[in-house]
Amino acid sequence: MINLRFSPGGRTRPCEFMRRVTNLVLMPVIVVVAAVAVMFFAKSQSLDVTLVLLLMPLQLLVCWFWVMLWVRRYHDSGKSGWMCLIPVGVFIVVAVIFDQKLFGIVPINLEVHAAVGQAIVDGDFGIVMQEAAAGGAITKLGMLLAAVGYAVVSYVIAFVFNDMVKHDPRDNRFGAGD
**Cβ neighbours around 160 below 10 Å, total:** 11
Predicted pLDDT of residue 130: 59
Please say if the pLDDT value at position 125 is more than 70: no
Name the band, by pLDDT with cuts 50, 70 and 90, for residue 2. Answer: very low
Q: What is the DSSP letter of 8?
A: S
Instruction: Count Cβ neighbours within 10 Å for each residue of 122-149 and write b for 16 or more, e otherwise.
Output: eeeeeebeebbeebbbbbbebbbbbbeb
pLDDT of residue 19 exceeding 90: yes
Cβ 142 vs Cβ 106: under 8 Å: yes
Q: What is the mean pLDDT of residues 15-42?
A: 84
Q: Is the pLDDT of residue 151 over 50?
A: yes
Mean residue pLDDT of the chain comes to 78
> What pLDDT is recorded for position 1?
38
Half-sphere exposure at residue 59, Cβ-oriented, CA atoms within 13 angstroms: 10
Give residue limits of the domains in the chain. Answer: 14-164
Contact 146, 140 (CB under 8 A): no
What pLDDT digit, counting tens, does each position of 71-106 carry?
999 999 889 889 999 999 999 899 888 877 776 655
Q: Which residue has the higher pLDDT, 176 or 78?
A: 78
Whether the predicted model's global pTM rises above the 0.85 cut: no
Residue 69, judged by CB atoms within 10 A of its CB (0-12, 13-18, 19+), counts as buried
The amino acid at residue 17 is F
CA atoms of 91 and 153, how far apart (whole Å): 8
Of residues 78 and 54, more confidently modeled? 78
How far, CA to CA in Å, does 167 sit from each of 14, 34, 90? 7, 37, 21
